[in-house]
C-alpha cells in the first residue's frame, strides 16, 4: 500500500509508530457500552442518519448482509480474540482498501492515518488491521463528523450505536487523554485532518 509518510517522525519506529497504550486502570471503564445496544442490523440502520463507521468484523458483516456497506469498516479477522469463521472473513475482507498495523491494547499512528483516509473518501472503505481494532471506536468518535454513526460490537450482547455529538467527542477526548504514550502526537494527527476540511 502506498503511504504518504511526510508526517511520520524520522526515527526507527516506522509505519507502526506507537501512539497510545491502554493503561490497565482504564480497561474496566471501556467494558461499559458507550451507546444503546441493538441486535438487529436492520433495526439499527433505521436510526442511522449520516456516515456509518463500523468497528469489528461481525458488526461489518451484519451491515453488509443487510445491504448497507459502512462508509468506513475497520476489521481484523477476529472476534472475542478468536479468528472469525470463513464466511465472515471472506465477506468483510472481500474489498479491502487500506491496511494498517495496530498492536493489541494500542492505537498506532498507522491505524489513525488509515481511519482518517477512510473517513475522507467518497466511497465505502474497508481497513484491514493486522493486530487488533478494538480501541479504534474511540478515535473514530472523535474524528467522525457531527451526526455520524460509529457502531462497534459488545461481546455477547450486540452492536453499540454511538451517534456522534460534541458531548461524545469531549467524552472520548477525556478518555483518550488518560491513555499512556504520545498524546500530543495523537492529537496532532487528528487535528491536522480536521484542519484540512
pLDDT, averaged across the chain: 87
Q: Is 57 annotated as a binding residue?
A: yes
Q: Alpha-carbon Rg of the chain, whole angstroms?
A: 16
pLDDT at 5 over 90: no
Q: Give residue-wise pLDDT tens across range 26-58.
A: 988 888 899 999 999 999 999 999 999 999 999
Question: pLDDT (tens digit, 9 = 90+) per residue, 70-96?
Answer: 999 999 988 877 888 899 999 998 888
58 in a labelled binding site:
yes
Instruction: Write down the domain spans for the chain.
Output: 52-137, 162-197
Task: Please check if 59 is assigned to a binding site.
Answer: yes
- 132 known member of a binding site: no
The CB density around residue 152, as the number of other CB atoms within 10 Å, is: 26
Is 177 annotated to bind ligand?
A: no
The reply to whether 133 sits in an annotated binding site is yes
| Most distant CA pair in the chain, distance | 47
Determine the Cα–Cα distance for residues 119 and 58; give it in Å rounded to an integer.
20
Assign 194 a pLDDT band (cuts: 50, 70, 90).
low
- Contact at 8 Å (CB) between 162 and 34? yes
Question: How far from 183 is each of 8, 95, 109, 134, CA to CA, in Å?
Answer: 15, 32, 11, 18
Q: Considering the entire predicted model, what is its pTM? A: 0.87
Amino acid at each position: 500500500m502506498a503511504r504518504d509518510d511526510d508526517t511520520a517522525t524520522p526515527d526507527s519506529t516506522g509505519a507502526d509508530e506507537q501512539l497510545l497504550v491502554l493503561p490497565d486502570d482504564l480497561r474496566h471503564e471501556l467494558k461499559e457500552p458507550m451507546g444503546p445496544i441493538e441486535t438487529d442490523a436492520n433495526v439499527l440502520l433505521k436510526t442511522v442518519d449520516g456516515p456509518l463507521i463500523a468497528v469489528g468484523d461481525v458488526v461489518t458483516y451484519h451491515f453488509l448482509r443487510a445491504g448497507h456497506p459502512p462508509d468506513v469498516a475497520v476489521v481484523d479477522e477476529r472476534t472475542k480474540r478468536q479468528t472469525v469463521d470463513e464466511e465472515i472473513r471472506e465477506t468483510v475482507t472481500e474489498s479491502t482498501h487500506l491496511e494498517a498495523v495496530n498492536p493489541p491494547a494500542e492505537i498506532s499512528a498507522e491505524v489513525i492515518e488509515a481511519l482518517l483516509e477512510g473517513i475522507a473518501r467518497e466511497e465505502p472503505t474497508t481497513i484491514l488491521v493486522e493486530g487488533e481494532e478494538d480501541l479504534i471506536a474511540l478515535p473514530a468518535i472523535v474524528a467522525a463528523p457531527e451526526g455520524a454513526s460509529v457502531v462497534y460490537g459488545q461481546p455477547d450482547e450486540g452492536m453499540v450505536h454511538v451517534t456522534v455529538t460534541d458531548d461524545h467527542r469531549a467524552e472520548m477526548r477525556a478518555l483518550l487523554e488518560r491513555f499512556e504514550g504520545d498524546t500530543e502526537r495523537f492529537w496532532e494527527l487528528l487535528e491536522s485532518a480536521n484542519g484540512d476540511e
